[in-house]
Structures are given as C-alpha cells and as structure tokens.
Amino acid sequence: MTPSSIDARVRLDTHPTHPSAVIATLTGTQAHIPHMGLEAADWHVVAKNTLVLARIDHEEPYWAADAARELIASGIAVEITPRLREAIDEEWTWADYPMHWCTRTEIREVSAEAQKIYDDIRHGLLLIHAHAHDGHTTVAVGTYLNTGKSIYLHGENHLRQVARTFDSPAKALVDFERIHRDTMRPGPAPLTDTERAAAEARTTVDTPPAEPEPPRPEPETVPSYAADPGDHDALLDDFLDSHGDWSKWRTWSDETTHAIHESQTLRIERTHDVPAHEPAWTIAAYETPVSDRMWHLTATGATPAPVLQELLDHLADGDGWDTAVGRAVDKKAVTASTKPLGWKHTVDGRFIRWTAPSEDTGVQFDVFAAERSSSSAAWTVWAGPSIDRPRWALHASPHVPASMLAGLAAELALGTGTRCHGLGMSAPRQPTPPNAKLPAAAPTSPAPPARRLH
C-alpha cells in the first residue's frame, strides 16, 4: 500500500476549554492508521476517532506541528485550523525563566525531559516512593519499574529534573529521608494546577456550557430627556429615506456623514463613534449656499432619540428658515422659545434658566453670549446631575428658530421615550495562565509565559 492510497484525514484544532491543548479529529475508512501513530506519541483518546494532546509544558502546538509533518510524510491528509496555526507560529518563552542562559530550543528540551518524567509517572512506569518540600519546590524519590534504577527528582511541572540516581530503592530512600526527614511524605505529591488542567483536558472535549444571557430588561416609559439615545445612525438614515429633498455623502475616512437639503442652505453633519459627552451632531442653516451661518446647533452623542427626532421633524417641516438673523434676540423671542416648558424660571446674572421640578434637566439662555456674537452658544439644553455635568447637552447659537426651540421645549416638558436598565455586561473571563515554580537554585518562581517576543 503506497502512502498516497491511505484513506484517512486528520483535523488539528485548539481545545475549546484548555488554551494550549490540541484536538485531533480523524476521518476516513483507514482512520486507525493515524490513530495508532498519534496514540503512540502520547495523544490521549477521548472519543471515537478523537484524541487530545495535553502537556504540562504548554508546548502542544509545537508538538502538534511535529505530528502533522510526520502524518503528511506518511501520506495522510492533515488540516490545521487557522487558530491552531496562529498558536504554532506564535513565539513565546517563560517570563523570568530560572535558567536564563538557555536558548528557546534548550528551554524546550528541558521541558520535554520534564514532560517525559510526568508521563512515566502517569503511565505507572515510574513509582514515586515519597515526596517533600525543600523550602523552594517539591522534591521526590522514585524507581523505574522496568530498569530498577532509582532517581531523586527536583522541581515541578516543566522544571522537574532528575537531580541524582541510585542503584537501588533502599539507597534512594535512605538518602531522601536523611535530607528531608521533617517534610517527607509517602507517595507522590498532590497534583499541581498545571497537572490537573492537563488531566481535565484529556477527559473531555465538550464545549463549555454557554453562560446564560442576562435577562432582557423591560423598557420603561420615561420623560424624553431621560430616554435612551437609541441608534443615532438609524435615525438619520430613516430621516433621509423619508425626505427625498435631502441627500447625503460620507467622508473618505468614514468618520462623518453629511446630509444637505436640496437648497444647500440646511445641512446636517453626523460624526460617528464619538464619546457620549462630545458633539455628535451639528445642524446649521445658511441664508445662501455660500453665506455664513445664520444659526447652528450641536448635540452630544448621548442625546435621547426622542429629542433628536423632534429636531429632525422640524427640519423636515421647513422650520430651519424661521429665524431672526441680523436682529437682537429680544424678550419676546426668548419667551416664545420657552413658553411650553412651564418650569421654574430664574435669573442669575447673565443667565436665564428654566429648570424642571425634578432638577435633572433644564434650559439656559446666556444673555451675554447672545449679545456678543451671533455664532456663540447662547442656548444650552441639558439633562443629568447638573448643567456642569450633563448626561447629554444641546448647544445652539442665538438665532436658532424660536419655533424649533419651542418644539424642543414641548418635547422636554411633555414628551416620553423608553429607557432600559441593566444592559451592562461583564468582561469575559480570561483563562488562567500556567504557573511554574523555580528549583531551589532560583530565588523566585517563574511567571507565566510572556508571549509575542517580536
């Protein structure tokens, strides 16, 4: 039988619950051929035609690539998933590795020897008589049942090494008891976290159960100024779809959308992906397409959807040209703009304020700013803890149409919207990185692997 005639395919992928472990899924009428080869290389059978490679040195991707090369050379088709390929190509090393003089290849050789010791213990080839703690790490004494050679082991996980050898178990135990009499315990040491994780990976390849989704909160009806922002981009798209006399274009950087009325004297600028407290909308009117602004208004990213909808409705109704440009903003204009509010009215120096009974929203007119410049932000509409710390805010120049402000005031005072609570989600838990303790010669324990050296 030639290698090319083997009807078998191996798919290699990362383990769903253990970060470094690798799964091999076998298919084909002759899947038993790669099955025997992988099992001989210490891959563990977890289900029919499914094997797992789980090591204590976290080098599974490296050895999976090595296995793939062997299989391909035997004429067996091998598929390596992109995420496993990424793990194979990733360069990493153990942070604070105690044998800092070792190259990456030498570190892997040390780890491979530690892995062999672990596998020999796990498979019953190496019998551990006793263990102890020497003040720095775990030490143990054991005997190979096939050769009768006894050894003294030093370290844990990927740093476990053979420190001494003995001709007989008796000599090994006498020497071990002499050194570690006070901390000596019979049998092998308890499994480390790394060994326990490897054992779990060899037990199952089931995908972890999905965490239940948090219950969807029922939206509550609230005043417009307290409503959720909703989808601002969808609001603008709906407005443009419903009004053919407006057209839009988006900047090359895809950060801003401009909407322009066919007269070219009313314009909307929508800035995407800005923080909630920064301006996300600018609405402006011009006397002619090439003249200066008659008025403008900005709205922050957290502005409630009903409030924005009210503004867009007024633009659609043609209220954008209802302005008193060129004339001073008098008491009559201010009264007409705020009449629908019916809120507490106060005068504080240059500021005239209207505040809701709940004191969490209001309108402010800056007399000084209005007199100083037609382009300054004379009007402030806000909601939140205070005008100095608003959850959202609108700022408008002095000559913004009184009818638009009146409609906005009515929406604030009488309109309603919806708000949902409890939509926050916690960040996903990251898998616990491997820990490794140092041998006695090292002053501290090595940290988990530091990845991506390049």
269, 249 in Cβ contact below 8 A?
A: no
Q: Which amino acid is at 20?
A: S
Widest CA span of the chain, in angstroms?
108
CA–CA gap between residue 57 and residue 221 (Å, rounded): 57
Residue 155 neighbours by CB under 8 Å, 6+ apart:
114, 137, 138, 139, 161, 437, 438, 439
24, two tokens: 């091999």
CA pair distance 192, 155, nearest whole angstrom: 11
| Per-residue confidence (pLDDT) for residue 121, from 0 to 100 | 93
pLDDT of residue 355: 93
| Residue 300, C-beta contacts closer than 8 angstroms, at least 6 positions apart | 276, 277, 278, 279, 280, 390, 392, 393, 394
Per domain, the residue ranges of the chain are 8-92, 96-200, 220-419
Q: Which of 352, 326, 327 is nearest to 337 (CA)?
A: 352
- DSSP letter at 167 equals S
State the DSSP H helix or E strand holding residue 174, giving kind and residue range, or none if neither: helix 169-180
Q: What angle do CA 126, 192, 119 make, to 5 degrees?
A: 30
Cα–Cα distance measured from residue 285 to residue 267, given in angstroms and rounded to the nearest whole number: 6
DSSP letter, residue 265: S
Write down the pLDDT at residue 139. 95
pLDDT by residue for the chain (454 residues), tens only, comes to 444 568 899 999 999 888 889 999 999 999 999 999 999 988 999 889 999 999 998 899 999 999 999 999 988 999 999 999 988 888 777 777 888 888 888 988 999 999 999 999 998 999 999 999 998 899 999 999 999 999 999 999 999 999 999 999 999 999 999 999 989 999 999 999 999 989 988 886 665 555 666 677 778 999 999 999 999 999 999 999 999 999 988 766 678 899 999 999 999 999 998 889 999 999 999 988 888 888 999 999 999 999 999 999 988 876 555 554 445 567 787 888 888 888 889 998 999 999 999 999 999 999 998 888 778 889 999 999 999 999 999 999 999 988 899 999 999 999 999 998 643 323 323 333 333 333 333 333 343 344 333 2
